[in-house]
Amino acid sequence: MDVVNQLVAQGQFTVIKQPLGFIKALQWIFAIFAFSTCGSYSGMFKMSVECSNRSESDLGIEVEFEYPFRLHQVYFDAPTCKGGDKERLFLVGDYSSSAEFFVTIGVFSFLYSMAALAVYCFILEKYRENNKGPQIDFVVTAVFAFMWLVSSCAWAKGLSDVKTATDPERVITLIQACEERENKCREIHDPKVSGLNTSVAFGFINLILWIGNLWFVFKETSWKAAFAGTYVPSQEKQPAPDSYAQEGYGQQDPYAGSQGGYQPDYGQQGGYNEDGGYNQGYDQQPTSYSNQM
């Protein structure tokens, strides 16, 4: 617990309030909704076959199916209305590929969003170091946005086919006894697919979230500055202000010795002595003019 408390104390959880972290949290939540509503589904529909001979009828034929929707493996027994025999029938279609692909994208999105949130909260400075973290994050986010588009569209088409294959009115046409007019076949209970409809909705919500998150991750990279024309490569950056002390103001003026006129030497030491003579700061001996007249 001490390690956990230390990590929590050092975490930068304010990033969750920013769009970069807030959208990642939404992606994490909606990814759970997407793969759970699809992967945990199980449904059932019910039919009745009433034969001319009532003793051979079956008024409660239940057919159960579930994820991953390999319907060609789902079977049920229906009366033949011929001497009490029954026939085994299978549903039509295998839609496991689109369903499993959708769930797989949801699970990996959940894992990546959770890992990204951990990076944002605990090693945000390391994430931004050398600009490698934002660039990798942008590429992965773009890939997941594309995968959500493909998987959601594929699962929407697969769900439409699942609804058709599990429609009791359509399944009744597979029963040979229902082809005879003296026998009465009807549906009793339709399968509830509201959970599957919700999973498709969550898939497209995830698509919108991942596409929207592209902009906020893009802002963390140097590509935004490059597109705006304000990015300066490291080899062309201006020298730091401290360098002017060495190469700028500390140098001697190159025009000081070439200009004409009197150039006073402020390093000289001169003055009048007590005898009225002027002492110059040169190596020559001082000259007294007091007695020459």
Give the pLDDT of residue 198: 95
**Domain locations along the chain:** 12-218
Give the pLDDT of residue 228: 58
Which tokens go with 180? Answer: 């005879």
Beta partners for residue 50, in sequence order: 184
pLDDT in tens, the chain (293 residues): 554 455 455 556 788 888 888 999 999 999 999 999 999 999 999 999 998 888 888 888 999 999 999 999 999 999 888 877 888 999 999 999 999 999 999 999 999 999 999 998 888 888 888 788 889 999 999 999 999 999 999 999 999 999 999 999 999 999 988 888 888 999 999 999 999 999 999 999 999 999 999 998 888 887 656 565 554 444 444 455 554 444 444 444 444 444 444 445 544 444 444 444 444 444 444 444 444 43
Angle at 105 between CA 101 and CA 106, to 5 degrees: 115
Residue at 283: amino acid letter? D
DSSP category for residue 16: G
Give the pLDDT of residue 272: 46
Beta partners for residue 90, in sequence order: 75
Beta partners for residue 75, in sequence order: 90
CB-count exposure of residue 122 (10 Å: 0-12, 13-18, 19+): middle
| Coil vs helix vs strand at 92 | coil
